Amino acid sequence: MPAHETIAAIATPPGTGGIGIVRLSGSRALAIAEALSHSSLVPVKIQFRRFFDAGEQVIDHGLCLFFKAPHSFSGEDCVEIQAHGGPIVLDMLLERVCGLGARLARAGEFSERAFLNGKVDLTQAEAIADLIESGSRAASRAAMRSLEGRFSQQVHDLDDDIVNLRTYIEAALDFAEEEIDFLNDIDIGRRLDEATVKLQALLEQAEQGRTLQEGLSVSLAGLPNAGKSSLLNYLAGYEAAIVTEIAGTTRDVLREHISLRGVPIRINDTAGLSESQNPVEREGIRRAWESIGQADVVIYLVDAGKGMTGEDRRILDDLAAANLQLVYSKSDLLAESEAPDPAGLYISTRADRGMDKLVDSITGHISDYNQDNHTFMARRRHVDALQRALECLRQAAHGFEQSRSGELMAEDLRQAQHDLNEITGEFSSDDLLGRIFSSFCIGK
């Protein structure tokens, strides 16, 4: 991608609207906009202009904004042309600026240039895309925090700690015969532990951020007829799934995207878990287990009318306790205020009971979704990189205990640093950048 090429794109969404924006970035942006408007332009001033086609006919009139490098989003000369928001008008404007020497921008290319010109780091560029695409208020607030650099700052802090450690260790290596004493002196073990604890906390926060970005995945599980599909329909607000009194109604995994109190949720309704001999049901049950295995939260429904059975207990033994929420359904079948399991959560989709508590418990899995003043947006690749870095620190600590070898430890720390730098983009392959930016929208 030659950086001197000037790129252009319609930055507003397809369709009609009051205003539509064509954006230009690159060394020829100003010349192209001046040729388009038959006038000269000055930086950061709102300028009303007419826009002409090649045959000197007026395409439209509107506002022109010129941002001179490096004081622009991309760090290059940028022009925003605000015209009327009709697809034909905007197409004609785009065609004209391309005729004057711009080329069509690829998806995410403005942001990519902003990254390459050091205006934002990689997590901030990703946060812009996440902000635009956020499916809930909590997600948009978290994306904004990442955009403001909260996540990057913590990664940089950790990086600094590791650099300091490496400097000490590498200095010790230069005085090989005194290496061991030197390493003991500066309390390497304690410093390594501190960095590990910090990294672990950051990883936990990033996990929360990832959940906001991807949505919390929730699987509804239970015996046939437990009321799973009825709960899906209740939460989705429409008849997404077939509900009948016949056990084994649901076979495929049904997926719905919902938002509960501002938290994006991907909810899966699954086949009832039973010992069926029917091959279709068996495949449904296999898929149910698969969905349960991948979920952030599993809601296990027990029919309150029947109470907890031996089969329920056997299945519950197989479910991981960490993300399990046991819920008694059909509480309307019990006598008023009867609750055989005093600690249990009782709901009824039919009588609309217990739903607030259930929603509390689901959203509670994103710990500070409403008073969240520190959750930032993170992606799976960030979580993966943090996990790799954590593994390296653990390895460094282990190696240090076992052999007291500064050399091995220095190598582990170097790798941890590399993993951290991948997050913010200091070390990143073209391949990775290509993958990240191509998922952005055109014009961003």
Ligand X SMILES: Nc1nc2c(ncn2[C@@H]2O[C@H](COP(=O)(O)OP(=O)(O)OP(=O)(O)O)[C@@H](O)[C@H]2O)c(=O)[nH]1
Per CB under 6 A, residues contacting ligand X are: 222, 224-230, 243-245, 247-250, 271-272, 329-330, 332-333, 348-350
Q: Among the candidate windows 32-40, 228-236, 311-319, 334-342, which touches Mg ion by CB under 5 A?
A: 228-236
CB 241 to Mg ion: min, Å: 6
CB 125 to Mg ion: min, Å: 42
Select 301 or 436, whichever has its Cβ closest to Mg ion.
301
CB 302 to ligand X: min, Å: 11
Other beta carbons within 10 Å of 320:
10
Measured in degrees and rounded to the nearest 5, phi and psi for residue 372 equal -70, 95
* Cα separation, 7 vs 326, whole angstroms: 55
Select 350 or 404, whichever has its Cβ closest to Mg ion.
350
Q: Is the backbone of residue 379 left (phi > 0), alpha (psi -120 to 50) or beta?
A: beta
Residue 91 binds: one of ligand X, Mg ion, none (C-beta under 5 to 8 A by kind): none
Task: Find, among 7, 39, 9, the residue nearest to 22 by Cα.
Answer: 9
Counting beta carbons within 10 angstroms of the beta carbon of residue 286, is it exposed (0 to 12), middle (13 to 18) or buried (19 or more)? Answer: exposed
Select 219 or 349, whichever has its Cβ closest to ligand X.
349
Residue 329 binds: one of Mg ion, ligand X, none (C-beta under 5 to 8 A by kind): ligand X
Q: Is the backbone of residue 437 left (phi > 0), alpha (psi -120 to 50) or beta?
A: alpha
- How many residues make up the chain in this entry? 444
CB 363 to ligand X: min, Å: 21
Q: Among the candidate windows 22-30, 243-251, 278-286, 342-350, which touches Mg ion by CB under 5 A?
A: 243-251
CB 327 to Mg ion: min, Å: 15
Helix then strand then coil, in percent of the chain rounded to 5, is 50, 20, 35
Residue 245 binds: one of ligand X, Mg ion, none (C-beta under 5 to 8 A by kind): ligand X
Residue 264 binds: one of Mg ion, ligand X, none (C-beta under 5 to 8 A by kind): none
Q: Give the residue closest to ligand X by C-beta.
A: 272
Select 210 or 228, whichever has its Cβ closest to ligand X.
228
CB 311 to ligand X: min, Å: 13
Select 134 or 274, whichever has its Cβ closest to Mg ion.
274
Residue 406 binds: one of ligand X, Mg ion, none (C-beta under 5 to 8 A by kind): none
Residue of the chain from 217, 250, 276, 375 that contacts Mg ion (CB under 5 A): 250
Task: Find, among 216, 255, 258, the residue nearest to 236 by Cα.
Answer: 258
Residue of the chain from 25, 213, 229, 291 that contacts Mg ion (CB under 5 A): 229
* Cα separation, 78 vs 71, whole angstroms: 9
Select 149 or 227, whichever has its Cβ closest to ligand X.
227
Q: Site residues for Mg ion, window 252-281 (CB under 5 A)? A: none
Select 161 or 256, whichever has its Cβ closest to Mg ion.
256
Distance between the two ends of the chain, CA-based, in angstroms?
Answer: 17
Q: In what order do the strands lie in the sheet with 345-346?
A: 254-260, 263-269, 216-222, 297-303, 324-329, 345-346
CB 304 to Mg ion: min, Å: 17
Torsion angle in degrees (nearest 10) through CA of 235, 239, 241, 242: 140
CB 234 to Mg ion: min, Å: 13
* Cα separation, 380 vs 382, whole angstroms: 5
| DSSP conformational letter for 441 | P
Residues in contact with Mg ion by the rule CB under 5 A = 228-229, 249-250
